[in-house]
């Protein structure tokens, strides 16, 4: 390539120059390529879809069937099982019946973890279904992500399950943030209450509710006047109570389960402290109602994410979910319809809808895609399930109920509550001045009629 | 290696720098990587051990309590803790019987792990590279102790890919760095190489132009001297003026006036412009000075050459340059071309001997070859040959010179052919005049044989008329006498004819006795009548000389005639018919052939002795004699390379001595 002739030397210089440049660039490209190592990702061993046979789909569920939160787990179980049994008896989904393996975790996160590992590794279930509790469900999130197994329907509105969005986690119910946000709005706007305290379970669930509440108050430029807490699994509510009483709060937001919450309320009334009590749905309405004295002049409000299963307006509100009442009666005749069970039932409705959309060729990924494709599945008049790739929460509805006559009934008229609160306060003050220290349980007929609304 | 030397300097520098930098970078990279990778692995091991240790300590209680959910929760938390998610592939705990107590897999536990990587009883840990699924992991096993007893083993599996990612990140960083360095060095060395070699290439190109003789190229305008016009240099315009820079260098060295003074007038000159710069710049400056110097020299040389060329070309006489050793003509000027009739290209390369055929040993050739001879030599009346073998007479000046380093002879020829012809004509005229003089004698000479013939024929006629018998002896006698007389008459006429003939230019070998006898046969009788006796003592076997026979005859005729005139003159005062003697002798002496003509006539007075050979000099009354005889004689003798001497004594006689060289 190098010519001797001087005249040609200049011409040859150019190709050599170009050659040099080409060499340079190719070396650089090679370097770059060589440098880029393979980014290995932990690849789980690929296999055929577990938990799916020609005739059966196997699901796994870990929930509190024993222990201090057993009501929540049990009712959830009965709620979804009644629907699933119904489906199985009707021929199943695409020729397959659904079998649910349910383990008790006693609302204990390690237990839940162990159960979940067992379900995934040993029982090789297709998907996880209807878990109960925030700390338990949050604990297993990493495992769910690693195993890439869908988890549909949790009896918890924890923020951690919604944010950041995890593909495999499918929530059905509205979140605690939504509940507390609505509640705070009602408390401040409808009831005119500014001094709001919070009593919460000292764990992830409690913190979640606390944060939601604080965020909601921030919107109004307010903050909780007091924070009281109790340790999960215990009934040590006194310290929290005193802290809250000291501030003279007008309302107490309670994030806990029915045992400690009911104890808190009873103690508060005993001590003559009668604010508006508000709890989130998780508390377990029926159990709470059962533990409270119906004659007491207390205002206990509870937010719910599903419509009340019983009551005059129910039929209209329930829509198609009224089927729950019927199915529960069929499969679990001794049981009473309740909010928790209704949630379980709705979880099952969503599950079946998803399986249906996914088709006969069932895979975990396909199932999730199917769920995400449910754009507007109406369960009732103003209760429709919607999902999308960026929205893994089916419902957004929040209902407010009030404890009356031992039942949590839908609140239709906030003004009335406002009035009754005022009455209760006056009476308490009067009694306080009387020095009896006991809260009067008598309720004036007028007030009762007003609160009752339509018969 | 040859290929390496072939590529340009620019690329050599460039490639060398690149190669060195690359090698160094690669070496550093490898070294660093090796150090870092081994450190990384040991660091990660330590991390894994730390995790395992934490689990061992916190989990020992759970192991004892058989609280497997809590154990699972513990190891799961440890595995999933934020950044650890990528680092930890798995954690599992086995008891002493290698039963799995807890593990973090989300698929069935890989059976081979259970017994893999056991920790020996006395060891504190064990690290092993295992394959789990399709991945490699470093399994770090740590025993769980309750007091001093081992109750189980924690296995923490660290993703090898984690390390690999770190390593490849490292590699990427290094390679990126090297690439950057490479790129920078590429550009820099490229620029550097170009900076060094561009001026060199430029200078090379300039040199090429100069070597082709193109001196009009533009000197670098970027010099300190700027656009300096050569015509501003006085030494360039007028080559008689010296250039301070190289003509007076020696004078300056001897401590003449300060050089800076001189430079003052020549400050803008390229020689004195020095650019402050690096070696490359200085090279360019030097080059410029050199070019300018060459230009000056060339100009001078050109002028000088022109000067001498015009002298050579315009010289009024033909000039040759002849090579001493080969005797070939190296150069000839236009006049030579004119005279000799050859074209210049025919002359150059031709042997000079072709032009000067005679005397190859004694002529110009001998002088040329004789390397000891210095100075110059003058040859007269040399016969040369023109083209077509036409003769031409020239006088030659030949000088030794050094022509282009070779010894040569420069020969200038003057054409004397005309002069020679005039000479010949003159000789002829003189001869004619001599003939005229001789006519009376000739007539007398011829009468005698004619009378004899007449007498004989008359006798025979008378005898015939009278019817007398002529005796055989008488008839024979008469007839033979008549024949002899006819021969004699014929001889005389022949001699005359030979005498009158114009001589050839070409000389021939002549026996000197022959022309002597020839003259005698012409004038002998006549002289006899005048009582002048010619005695001839001619040596036999004389070597011949190069001459013309009839010219020699003329010479002897002249001498003999002068001798008679001298005798007559002497006898005038005495008895007119006293007569005299002319003695002619020939002999050889000293490599010469000598002829003497002696008379005992009046002799030559001293006052005129030096003039006798002068042309138009005569002692006789004018209109009788042109006075050319001796002059011609002298010319003829000299022309043959001979010599003529005179010895004379008043009233006793004169002797002319002619000597001719013997050729060979």
Q: Give the pLDDT confidence score for residue A115 in this predicted structure.
A: 94
Mutate which: A7, A40, A41, A104, vs B, most B CBs within 10 A: A40
Higher pLDDT, B118 or A90: A90
**Share above pLDDT 70 across residues of chain B, in percent, rounded to a whole number:** 85
Burial of B216 (0-12, 13-18, 19+ CB in 10 A): exposed
Report the residue from A38, A40, A121 with minimal CB separation from B105. Answer: A121
pLDDT in tens, A323-360: 899 999 999 999 988 888 999 999 999 999 999 999 88
CA distances from A261 to A6, A105, A264, B120 (A): 101, 22, 5, 55
Higher pLDDT, A431 or B631: B631
Averaged over A428-439, what is the pLDDT?
Answer: 57
The span from the CA of B555 to the CA of B636, in Å, is 8
Residue A381, Cα to own-chain centre: how many angstroms?
Answer: 22
Averaged over B498-520, what is the pLDDT?
Answer: 79
Let me know whether A297 and A435 are in one domain: yes
Let me know whether A42 and A54 are in one domain: yes
SS3 labels along B137-186: EEEEEEEEEECCEEEEEEEEEEEHHHHHHHHHHHHHHHHHHHHHHHHHHH
Q: Please confirm whether the linkage preceding B457 is cis (ω < 30° from 0).
A: no
Distance from CA of A26 to the nearest CA of B (A): 11
Instruction: Give the domain CATH number at B469.
Output: 3.30.565.10
pLDDT in tens, A404-430: 888 888 888 888 888 887 776 677 677
- Residue B428 located in a structural domain: yes
Strand pairing of B391-403 and B406-415?
Answer: antiparallel
Instruction: Give the domain CATH number at B49.
Output: 3.30.450.20
Let me know whether B482 and B607 are in one domain: yes
Let me know whether B433 and B385 are in one domain: no
The span from the CA of B366 to the CA of B359, in Å, is 9
The span from the CA of A192 to the CA of A173, in Å, is 28
Let me know whether A149 and A90 are in one domain: yes
The span from the CA of B318 to the CA of B415, in Å, is 8
What pLDDT band is residue B261 in, cutting at 50, 70 and 90? low
Q: Do A113 and B72 touch (CB under 8 A)?
A: yes
Q: Give the pLDDT confidence score for residue A27 in this predicted structure.
A: 60
Distance from CA of A110 to the nearest CA of B (A): 5
Let me know whether B50 and B157 are in one domain: yes
Residue B426: pLDDT above 90?
A: no
Reported as type and span, the H/E element at residue A120 is none
Distance from CA of B35 to the nearest CA of A (A): 18
| Cβ proximity of B126 and B117 under 8 Å | yes
Beta partners for residue B593, in sequence order: B588, B660
Averaged over B516-527, what is the pLDDT?
Answer: 82
What pLDDT band is residue B98 in, cutting at 50, 70 and 90? confident
Residue A171: pLDDT above 90?
A: yes
Let me know whether B469 and B613 are in one domain: yes
Q: Do B176 and A42 touch (CB under 8 A)?
A: no
At residue B322, φ and ψ (nearest 5 deg) are: -115, 130
Q: Give the pLDDT confidence score for residue A12 in this predicted structure.
A: 42
pLDDT in tens, B445-499: 788 788 888 888 888 888 888 888 878 888 888 888 888 888 888 877 877 777 7
Averaged over B319-336, what is the pLDDT?
Answer: 86
Question: Of A326, A329, A352, A301, whose CA–CA distance to A172 is shortest?
Answer: A352
Let me know whether B554 and B611 are in one domain: yes
Question: Of B55, B58, B40, B48, whose CA–CA distance to B157 is shortest?
Answer: B48
Let me know whether B406 and B510 are in one domain: no
Let me know whether A167 and A227 are in one domain: no
Distance from CA of A240 to the nearest CA of B (A): 29
The span from the CA of B375 to the CA of B363, in Å, is 16
Let me know whether B570 and B478 are in one domain: yes
Residue B401: which domain range?
315-415
Residue B588: pLDDT above 70?
A: yes
Let me know whether B120 and B159 are in one domain: yes
Q: Give the pLDDT confidence score for residue B361 in this predicted structure.
A: 61
> What's the structural domain count of chain B?
3
- Residue B118 located in a structural domain: yes
What pLDDT band is residue A17 in, cutting at 50, 70 and 90? low
Q: Do A113 and B73 touch (CB under 8 A)?
A: yes
Question: Of A236, A276, A287, A293, whose CA–CA distance to A411 is shortest?
Answer: A276
Question: Of B185, B189, B127, B191, whose CA–CA distance to B160 is shortest?
Answer: B127
- Residue B332 located in a structural domain: yes
Beta partners for residue B193, in sequence order: none
A268: three-class secondary structure by DSSP = helix
Residue A180: pLDDT above 70?
A: yes
Q: Do A43 and B176 touch (CB under 8 A)?
A: no
- Residue B212 located in a structural domain: no
Mutate which: B73, B89, B164, vs A, most A CBs within 10 A: B73
A366: three-class secondary structure by DSSP = helix
Report the residue from B8, B70, B106 with minimal CB separation from A147. Answer: B106
Number of Cβ within a 10 Å radius of residue B253: 9
Report chain A's terminal Cα–Cα distance, integer Å. Answer: 106
Residues from B contacting A (CB-CB < 8 Å) are: 3, 6-8, 11, 14, 67-70, 72-73, 76, 80, 85, 89, 105-109, 133-135, 159, 161, 164-165, 167-169, 171-176, 178-179, 182-183, 186, 190, 204, 208
Residues 6+ apart with CB under 8 A from B655: B596, B597, B598, B599, B646, B647, B648
Question: Of B554, B533, B526, B657, whose CA–CA distance to B601 is shortest?
Answer: B533
Beta partners for residue A279, in sequence order: A254, A302
Residues of A in contact with B76 (CB under 8 A): 113, 139, 142-143
Averaged over A172-196, what is the pLDDT?
Answer: 91
Residue A40: pLDDT above 50?
A: no
Cite the DSSP H helix spans in B466-574: 472-500, 513-529, 549-573
Beta partners for residue B328, in sequence order: B351
Least confident of A37-51, A120-134, A218-232, A404-418: A37-51
Domain end call among B170, B197, B216: B170
DSSP B48: H
B467: three-class secondary structure by DSSP = coil
At residue B105, φ and ψ (nearest 5 deg) are: -75, 150
Let me know whether A36 and A143 are in one domain: yes
Residues of B in contact with A117 (CB under 8 A): 72, 106
Let me know whether A197 and A59 are in one domain: no
Domain end call among B368, B389, B415: B415
Let me know whether A10 and A152 are in one domain: yes
Let me know whether A165 and A239 are in one domain: no
Residues 6+ apart with CB under 8 A from A93: A57, A87, A352, A355, A356
Report the residue from B133, B134, B175 with minimal CB separation from A32. Answer: B175
Q: Would you mind telling me the total number of residues written for chain A in this entry?
A: 455
The span from the CA of A358 to the CA of B132, in Å, is 33
B8: three-class secondary structure by DSSP = coil
What pLDDT band is residue A85 in, cutting at 50, 70 and 90? very high
Domain end call among A346, A367, A385: A385
Residue B227: pLDDT above 90?
A: no
Residues of B in contact with A107 (CB under 8 A): none
Residue A242: pLDDT above 90?
A: yes
Residue B244: pLDDT above 90?
A: no
Let me know whether B436 and B338 are in one domain: no
Annotate A374-403 with b (16+ C-beta within 10 A) or e (fewer). beebebbeebbbebeeeebbbbebbbbbbb
Residue B224: pLDDT above 70?
A: no
Let me know whether B411 and B427 are in one domain: no
Let me know whether A208 and A350 are in one domain: no
The span from the CA of B436 to the CA of A115, in Å, is 173
Let me know whether A266 and A153 are in one domain: no
Supply the ipTM of this predicted assembly.
Answer: 0.74
- Residue A400 located in a structural domain: no
Let me know whether B389 and B437 are in one domain: no
Residue A84: which domain range?
2-174+324-385
Q: Do A149 and B106 touch (CB under 8 A)?
A: yes
Q: Do B175 and A122 touch (CB under 8 A)?
A: no
- Residue A270 located in a structural domain: yes
Let me know whether A26 and A164 are in one domain: yes
> What's the structural domain count of chain A?
2
The span from the CA of B448 to the CA of B272, in Å, is 104
Report the residue from B14, B70, B106 with minimal CB separation from A146. Answer: B106
Number of Cβ within a 10 Å radius of residue B626: 18
Let me know whether A150 and A277 are in one domain: no
Mutate which: A25, A117, A149, vs B, most B CBs within 10 A: A117
- Residue B337 located in a structural domain: yes
- Residue B222 located in a structural domain: no
Averaged over B585-594, what is the pLDDT?
Answer: 89
Task: Kindly report the pTM of this predicted structure.
Answer: 0.55
DSSP A58: E
Burial of B404 (0-12, 13-18, 19+ CB in 10 A): exposed
Q: Would you tell me the crossing angle of helices A339-358 and A70-89 to the nearest 10 degrees?
A: 40
Higher pLDDT, B562 or A125: A125
| Cβ proximity of A253 and A278 under 8 Å | yes
Let me know whether B375 and B518 are in one domain: no
pLDDT in tens, B133-169: 888 888 899 998 888 888 889 999 888 887 788 778 8
- Residue B231 located in a structural domain: no
The span from the CA of A63 to the CA of A69, in Å, is 9
Instruction: Give the domain CATH number at A287.
Output: 3.40.50.2300
Domain end call among B147, B170, B193: B170
- Residue B197 located in a structural domain: no
A278: three-class secondary structure by DSSP = strand
């Amino acid at each position: 390539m190098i010519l001797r002739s001087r005249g040609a030397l200049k011409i040859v210089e150019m190709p050599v120059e170009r050659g040099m440049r080409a060499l340079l660039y190719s070396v650089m490209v090679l370097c770059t390529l060589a440098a880029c190592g393979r980014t290995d990702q932990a690849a789980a061993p690929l296999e055929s879809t577990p938990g799916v046979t020609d005739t059966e789909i196997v699901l796994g569920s870990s929930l509190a069937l024993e222990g201090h939160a057993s009501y929540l787990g049990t009712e959830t179980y009965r709620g979804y099982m009644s629907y699933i049994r119904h489906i199985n008896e009707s021929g199943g989904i695409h020729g397959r019946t659904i079998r649910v393996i349910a383990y008790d975790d006693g609302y204990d996160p390690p237990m839940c973890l162990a159960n979940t590992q067992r379900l995934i590794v040993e029982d090789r279930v297709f998907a996880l279904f209807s878990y109960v509790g925030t700390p338990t469900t949050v604990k297993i999130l990493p495992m769910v992500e690693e195993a890439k197994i869908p988890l549909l329907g949790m009896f918890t509105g924890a923020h951690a399950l919604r944010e950041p969005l995890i593909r495999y986690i499918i929530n059905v119910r509205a979140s605690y943030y939504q509940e507390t946000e609505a509640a705070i709005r009602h408390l401040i706007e409808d009831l005119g209450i500014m001094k709001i305290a919070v009593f919460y379970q000292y764990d992830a669930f409690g913190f979640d509710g606390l944060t939601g509440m604080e965020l909601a108050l921030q919107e109004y430029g307010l903050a909780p006047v007091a924070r009281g807490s109790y340790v999960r699994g215990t009934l040590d509510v006194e310290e929290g109570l005193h802290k809250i009483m000291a501030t003279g709060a007008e309302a107490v937001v309670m994030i806990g389960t029915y045992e400690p919450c009911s104890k808190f309320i009873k103690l508060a009334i005993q001590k003559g402290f009668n604010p508006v009590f508000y709890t989130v749905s998780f508390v377990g309405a029926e159990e709470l109602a059962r533990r409270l004295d119906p004659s007491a002049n207390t205002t206990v409000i509870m937010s719910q994410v599903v419509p009340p299963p019983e009551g005059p307006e129910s039929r209209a509100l329930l829509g198609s979910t009224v089927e729950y009442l019927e199915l529960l009666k069929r499969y679990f005749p001794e049981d009473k319809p309740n909010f928790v069970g209704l949630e379980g039932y709705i979880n099952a409705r969503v599950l079946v809808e998803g399986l249906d959309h996914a088709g006969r060729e069932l895979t975990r990924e396909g199932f999730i895609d199917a769920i995400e494709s449910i754009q507007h599945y109406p369960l009732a008049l103003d209760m429709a399930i919607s999902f999308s790739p960026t929205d893994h929460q089916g419902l957004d509805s929040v209902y407010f109920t009030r404890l009356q006559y031992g039942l949590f009934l839908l609140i239709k008229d906030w003004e009335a509550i406002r009035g009754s609160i005022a009455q209760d306060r006056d009476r308490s003050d009067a009694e306080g001045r009387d020095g009896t220290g006991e809260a009067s349980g008598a309720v004036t007929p007028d007030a009762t009629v007003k609160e009752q609304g339509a018969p | 290696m040859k290929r390496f030397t072939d590529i340009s300097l620019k690329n050599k520098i460039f490639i060398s720098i690149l190669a060195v930098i690359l090698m160094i970078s690669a070496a550093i990279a490898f070294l660093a990587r090796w150090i870092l990778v081994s450190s990384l692995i040991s660091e990660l091991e330590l991390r894994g051990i730390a995790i395992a240790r934490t689990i061992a300590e916190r989990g020992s209680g759970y192991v004892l309590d058989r609280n497997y959910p809590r154990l699972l929760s513990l190891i799961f938390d440890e595995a999933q803790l934020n950044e650890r998610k990528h680092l930890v592939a798995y954690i599992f705990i086995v008891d002493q019987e290698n039963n799995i107590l807890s593990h973090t897999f989300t698929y069935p536990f890989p059976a081979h792990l259970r017994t893999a990587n056991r920790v020996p009883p006395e060891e504190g840990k064990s690290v092993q590279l295992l394959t789990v699924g399709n991945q490699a992991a470093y399994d770090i096993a740590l025993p769980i102790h309750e007091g001093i007893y081992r109750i189980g083993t924690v296995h923490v599996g660290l993703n090898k890919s984690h390390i690999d990612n770190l390593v490849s990140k490292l590699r990427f960083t290094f390679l990126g760095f090297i690439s950057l360095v490479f790129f920078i060095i590429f550009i820099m060395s490229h620029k550097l190489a170009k900076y060094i070699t561009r001026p060199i290439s430029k200078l090379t190109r300039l040199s090429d132009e100069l070597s082709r003789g193109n001196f009009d190229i533009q000197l670098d305008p970027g010099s300190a001297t700027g656009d300096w016009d050569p015509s501003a240099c006085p030494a360039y315009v007028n080559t008689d003026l010296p250039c301070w820079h190289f003509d007076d260098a020696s004078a300056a060295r001897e401590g003449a006036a300060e050089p800076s003074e001189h430079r003052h007038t020549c400050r803008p000159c390229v020689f004195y412009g020095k650019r402050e710069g690096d070696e490359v710049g200085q090279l360019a400056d030097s080059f410029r000075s050199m070019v300018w110097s060459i230009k000056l020299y060339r100009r001078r040389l050109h002028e000088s050459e022109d000067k001498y060329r015009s002298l050579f070309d315009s010289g009024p006489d033909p000039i040759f340059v002849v090579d001493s050793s080969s005797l070939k003509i190296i150069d000839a000027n236009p006049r030579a071309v004119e005279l000799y009739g050859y074209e210049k290209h025919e002359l150059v390369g031709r042997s000079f001997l072709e032009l000067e055929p005679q005397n190859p040993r004694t002529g110009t050739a001998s002088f040329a070859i004789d390397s000891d001879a210095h100075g110059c030599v003058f040859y007269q009346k040399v016969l040369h040959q023109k083209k077509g073998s036409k003769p031409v007479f020239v006088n030659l000046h030949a000088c030794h010179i050094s022509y282009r380093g070779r010894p040569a002879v420069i020969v200038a020829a003057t054409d004397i052919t005309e002069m020679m012809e005039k000479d010949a004509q003159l000789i002829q005229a003189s001869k004619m005049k001599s003939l005229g003089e001789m006519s009376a004698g000739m007539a007398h000479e011829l009468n005698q044989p004619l009378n004899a013939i007449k007498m004989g024929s008359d006798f025979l006629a008378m005898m015939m008329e009278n019817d007398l018998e002529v005796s055989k002896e008488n008839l024979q006698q008469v007839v033979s006498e008549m024949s002899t007389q006819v021969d004699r008459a014929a001889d005389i006429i022949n001699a005359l004819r030979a005498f009158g003939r114009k001589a050839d230019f070409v000389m021939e070998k002549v026996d000197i006795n022959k022309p002597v006898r020839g003259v005698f046969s012409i004038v002998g009788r006549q002289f006899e009548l005048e009582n002048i006796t010619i005695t001839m003592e001619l040596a036999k076997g004389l070597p011949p000389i190069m001459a013309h026979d009839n010219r020699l005859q003329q010479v002897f005729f002249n001498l003999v005639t002068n001798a008679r005139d001298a005798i007559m003159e002497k006898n005038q005062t005495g008895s007119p018919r006293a007569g005299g003697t002319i003695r002619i002798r020939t002999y050889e002496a000293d490599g010469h052939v000598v002829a003497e003509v002696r008379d005992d006539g009046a002799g030559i007075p001293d006052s005129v002795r030096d003039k006798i050979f002068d042309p138009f000099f005569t002692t006789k009354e004018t209109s009788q004699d042109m006075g050319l005889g001796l002059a011609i004689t002298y010319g003829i003798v000299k022309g043959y390379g001979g010599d003529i001497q005179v010895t004379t004594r008043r009233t006793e006689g004169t002797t002319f001595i002619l000597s001719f060289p013997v050729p060979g």
